[in-house]
Amino acid sequence: MAEQDLASAPPTSSNWVGQRLKRREDPELLTGAGEFVGDLTRPGMLHAAFLRSPFPHARIRSIDASRAQQMPGVHAVLTGADLPPDLAPQPQVHHFAGQRPTPYYALMRDRVRYAGETVAVVAAESRYLAEDALEQIDVDWEILPSTGDAESALRSEAPRLYDDWPDNVAGTYHAEMGDVDRALAEADVVITERFKVQRQFACPIETRGVLAEWDARRDELTLWTSTQSPNVVRDFLAEVLGMPAHRLRVLTPRVGGGFGGKFHFYPEEVAIALLSRRTGRPVLWVEDRIESFTATVHACEESVTATLGAKRDGTLTAIKAEVIGDMGAYLHTVSFGPVWLTSAMITNVYQIPSARVDTLAVVTNKTPFGSYRGWGQPQANFVVERMVDRMALALEMDPAELRRKNFIPPDRFPYTGLVHTFDSGRYAECLDRALELADYREWRARQAALRGSGRYIGIGVSFYVENTALGPSRILNEGGMRQGGFDTAHLRLEPGGEVTLYTGLSEMGQGFTNGLSQLCAEQLGVRPDQINVVTGDTQACPYTGYGTGASRSASVGGAAVIKASHSLRQKIEAIAAHMLEASPADLLIEAGRIWVKGAPARAITMKDVGRAAYHRAIELPPDMLPGLEAIEVFDPPQMAWPYGANVAVVEVDVETGEVKFLDYAYVHDCGTMLNPLIVEGQIQGGVAQGISAALYEELKYDSNGQPMFGTFMDYLIPTAADLPHLRLDHTITPSPIIPGGMKGAGEAGIIGSPAAVVNAIEDALRPFDVKFTQTPITPDTILTALETK
Amino acid sequence: MKPPRFEYVAPRTLDEALAFLARSPDETKLIAGGQSLVPLLNLRLIRPKYVVDLNTVEGLSEIRRPAEGALRLGAMVRQRALENHPLVRQLAPLLPEAARYVAHAAIRNRGTVGGSLAHADPAAELPAAMTVLRARLTLNRADGATRSLSPEEFFLGPLTTAIRPDEILTAIEIEPPPENTGWAFLEVARVHGAFALVGVAALVHLDRNGIVDLARIALCGVDGVPYAPEWFEEMIVGQRPGSDLFSQVGRRLRETLQPVSDPVIGAEYRRTAASSLVVRALDTAHRRAS
């Protein structure tokens, strides 16, 4: 079905949910008219630049900024010594039991633990002058021994990042069910592999940026920042600066992608606020591309040693895994959350009765680890789906068949596995649809035929489940989280009959405001273009603690919108029934028009209702107070679990090691889709990032923690020219626990695609019997594997 | 990522540009398309006192061919023009084929032929293509002196050429290869538009009897300068073309090539991929040579 402009949609439609409406913000964004932090300007605004540590680990003996301070055009230089003495360390949203404190600050006073860490900041009349001034700051460094990877950081002789620790382990996690050792002893086939997933990061098109304006008269701070979590920034800034949160206003203009990296609370947000207070001027800092590679949190780097046991008939009986996460220098905003989630997801979609994970979060002299789309799930999926493929090989079974045999069957939901409870799913149906869409059998036949002529085609299957609708709040708190998993929707029918939806969720390009307005329109009986969605202002919008992440906008945010719409509609109906002298049960509402069933001429509009509610109380029912607003909170009873199947078909050039996509089929189930066009965009983008994880992106460090990257020359991001055309279909299994049935869709695409691609490459090279357990798979990886055979 | 202060100079004629350059050659950088210079400035890896803009200089962007003479490309011809110009497509189709691998269209719209050659990145495509085409590179000086160098004389090492500080590369002249010369440019890069891991430019011409009477190859991405093995012509000219002969070239290359290495892609990879790519390039050029 083709997408459509809202303007061309049928004027009286009432079924807005599921329509492929084009996003309302696209004309603005596509013509370059969108206003991002870097586009903002305030009277008297100064520009900031940071001095960052060039060393992975060093003591700061002294800093002399006097020359920089005296340069023309320079207004202030702040170093660690200039920070308020009572400045609190950067707080965290996630906190795991027993984790060790790793305090870090806006500017480091006496020690740095990674290359890129903030040491000083300059405010000047232009960014050029600010960068000139950075060159005049003298730091007397004492270089310390450092460590560039988790494995060597675990050795007893490794340099320690924290002097009072006995080792470099910042936290551990353990989970277990069943009797793993016995199940493995009794298994017919047991395989063990060690996997390594490389360091990557969110790398949005818009880097981060902060504009702070401290109003000394009122002692209030306004902060425009490119974040996914305005309320986290507000709360944490208040905590760090020791000021009341209601004197802080956090605003997000257009945000050019977040992908998790902008969920975090960063030292720069504090430093720029302090710089504005110091200079009495608004101060803008925009992270430049080079900075972004070390200043924005990294992600994904984990190694996993896994053992999988199965019966001869293909029944998977046990899995155990040791997970090591490379946390970089500090536990950042989400602590080792993604590494925990990798561990928790180690049984994926399978009914494996016995499972055990042992997890270590290890500090190294690298940029802190944090959030990136998928949040640890792609790593778990990579391990499990690679292991299942290896097991299929060992059992001489078709890999798709082995999966089907072990899926949690539809009648077992809600299903509680190692950690989580899955709400619903029809996995086999989804996989079958994907195999059909991909012409799986036909590709298998072509694969066999082409091998004879020296062409190597591979078909890779993977299946994933995605953790969405993050909540419920109480369980998150029990798990050590400092924020709730609820969402609040605030709706107002305006005096003119239009609707305003205020949400604490954050729009960063994913387009959820479109989906929410379709949902709200259907609930209220108005058109989506009669709804304005307000986001990104902590003074205007409801408090949504967690912000936007964890694929929660459509599910948790959507359910809150349904609840608020329901409340608002009840009041609208009561007013309209009074005005039309009818019973509320006899009213029909469509496209903002309200009439009595069977008597279409007896009609009023939302405008009439709005007028009555605000301007003419005289028209209201006698016992009703004026005003027409509704605020409702939704806190999910559990999480909702969308899922999907990837089938990648690749051809590997055995002479150059190049991988070419021949086909890519994907079937996805996220329950009710508010706008399939947006869901498909999310999937496309996620698959692009998953393919990129499999083949391209890597933040490579040397053994001391010195970055060996810094531009797009060495951090490879694919373009449309490198990616397959996705053949995409959906099954729809509405979530039984979310009003409206929506599950999230934001992270789906990235979770299963790395495994599918690597399974396909290995499948293509089956005649050579090679094995791939690390990503990215470069042309060199492939030729090296072939040559060592 | 902002450059240190410099003075921007926008001459209107070549003479003005040369005269300015002659005044302070060691403190001046010329900017053509800016696709390599601007990053170097922004990274503060270079700190010229003056940046002289060749974009404002008239007459450096022409593509022409005097009757039956050499094809003449002004140094400021955009890479995108190289890709699309009918005269280039007709007389030296290798160049458009090589230009397609230069980054992305948006970059080729700005990037120039002369800029790419003068920057002399070892992974760049155009130096290798110019090497097999035996282009002549014209250098001008304020006193009117000009030099014309072969690619072998021009490219001295990674990012190093024979251009003297007071000279400007103004034009590239290419004697079109004989009619019915086959060509190929092939490259392996990790993503579309990324730097070449290895690239091969090849030309093949056959005599009336189907025997190779002209063949040249040059590789990029494997050495500091375009790599054109000395033994190649001797091995192939006078021979009957075909997969046996081409495979022999591939094997020899694999035995002799000492490629560069980087943290991600090793020398051994480049050696193997280069030898495969050369065989394919010769094969394609041979097919087009008939």
Same domain for A479 and A423 = no
The per-residue pLDDT for range B233-284, each reduced to its tens digit, is 999 999 999 999 999 999 999 999 999 888 889 999 999 999 999 999 999 9
Tally of residues, chain B: 290
The per-residue pLDDT for range A243-272, each reduced to its tens digit, is 999 999 999 999 999 999 999 999 999 999
Q: Which of A615, A634, A653 is the last residue of a domain?
A: A634
Token look-up 């001459």 returns B11
Give the DSSP per-residue string, A378-423. HHHHHHHHHHHHHHHHHHT--HHHHHHHHBPPGGG-SEE-SS-EE-
Q: Is residue A628 part of a domain?
A: yes
- The pTM of this model reads 0.96
pLDDT at A2: 62
Chain B closest-CA separation from residue A208 CA (Å) = 15
* Ramachandran angles phi, psi of B220, nearest 5°: -115, 160
Give the closest residue to B223 by CA, choosing from B102, B135, B127. Answer: B127
Q: Is residue A760 part of a domain?
A: yes
Q: Is residue A594 part of a domain?
A: yes
Same domain for A397 and A463 = yes
Same domain for A460 and A521 = no
Same domain for A533 and A621 = yes
Could you give the maximum distance between any two Cα atoms of chain A, in Å?
A: 88
**Mean pLDDT of the B80-109 span:** 97
Same domain for A667 and A530 = no
Per the prediction, chain A carries an average pLDDT of 96
Token look-up 């035996």 returns B134
Same domain for A710 and A657 = yes
Which member of A132, A696, A713 has the closest CB to residue B4?
A132
Q: Is residue A55 part of a domain?
A: no
Q: Which of A587, A614, A634 is the last residue of a domain?
A: A634
Residue B55 one-letter amino acid? N
* Contact call for A716 and B191, based on CB within 8 A: yes
Q: Where are the alpha helices (H) located in A581-708, listed in sequence order?
A: 606-614, 676-695
Same domain for A782 and A648 = yes
The per-residue pLDDT for range A695-716, each reduced to its tens digit, is 999 999 999 999 999 999 999 9
The complex scores an ipTM of 0.95
A62 shares contact with chain B (CB less than 8 Å): no
Q: Is residue A10 predicted with pLDDT exceeding 60?
A: no
A290's CB contacts (< 8 A; 6+ apart) are A710, A711, B1, B43
**Mean pLDDT of the B3-30 span:** 97
A110 shares contact with chain B (CB less than 8 Å): no
- Domain of residue A430, CATH code: 3.30.365.10
Q: Are A148 and A365 in contact (CB under 8 A)?
A: yes
* Ramachandran angles phi, psi of A405, nearest 5°: -65, -30
Q: Is residue A186 part of a domain?
A: no
Q: Is residue A7 predicted with pLDDT exceeding 60?
A: no
Q: Is residue A183 predicted with pLDDT exceeding 60?
A: yes
Same domain for A460 and A480 = no
Q: Are B71 and B65 in contact (CB under 8 A)?
A: yes
Same domain for A578 and A704 = no
A770 shares contact with chain B (CB less than 8 Å): no
Q: Is residue A720 predicted with pLDDT exceeding 80?
A: yes
For residue A518, the enclosing domain spans 3-34+471-634
Nearest-by-CA chain A residue for B273: A656
* Contact call for B1 and A288, based on CB within 8 A: yes
Chain B closest-CA separation from residue A132 CA (Å) = 7
Same domain for A507 and A409 = no
- Number of domains into which chain A is organized: 2
Q: Is residue A87 part of a domain?
A: no
Q: Is residue A309 part of a domain?
A: no
Q: Is residue A545 predicted with pLDDT exceeding 90?
A: no
* Contact call for B2 and A128, based on CB within 8 A: yes
Give the closest residue to A657 by CA, choosing from A788, A789, A785. Answer: A785
* Contact call for B5 and A128, based on CB within 8 A: yes
- Residue B66 in tokens: 């005097």
Q: Is residue A8 part of a domain?
A: yes
A434's CB contacts (< 8 A; 6+ apart) are A461, A644, A645, A646, A647, A665, A666, A667, A729
Residue B155 one-letter amino acid? F
A783 shares contact with chain B (CB less than 8 Å): yes
Q: In B, residues 192-211, which contact A (CB 8 Å cutoff)?
A: 192-195, 197
Same domain for A617 and A493 = yes
The per-residue pLDDT for range A411-433, each reduced to its tens digit, is 999 999 999 999 999 999 999 99
A-B Cβ pairs (cutoff 8 Å, strict): 74
Q: Which of A605, A634, A663 is the last residue of a domain?
A: A634
B94's CB contacts (< 8 A; 6+ apart) are B129, B132, B133, B183, B184, B185, B201, B203
Which member of B3, B39, B197 has the closest CB to residue A779?
B197
Same domain for A650 and A598 = no
Banded pLDDT at A13 (limits 50, 70, 90): low
Q: How many CB atoms lie within 10 A of CB B251?
A: 12
Q: Where are the alpha helices (H) located in A281-438, listed in sequence order?
A: 289-295, 337-344, 377-395, 399-406, 427-437
The per-residue pLDDT for range A118-176, each reduced to its tens digit, is 999 999 999 999 999 999 999 999 999 999 999 999 999 999 999 999 999 999 999 99
Chain A closest-CA separation from residue B110 CA (Å) = 18
Q: Which helix (H) or strand (E) covers residue A142, if one does?
A: strand A138-143
**Mean pLDDT of the A280-297 span:** 97
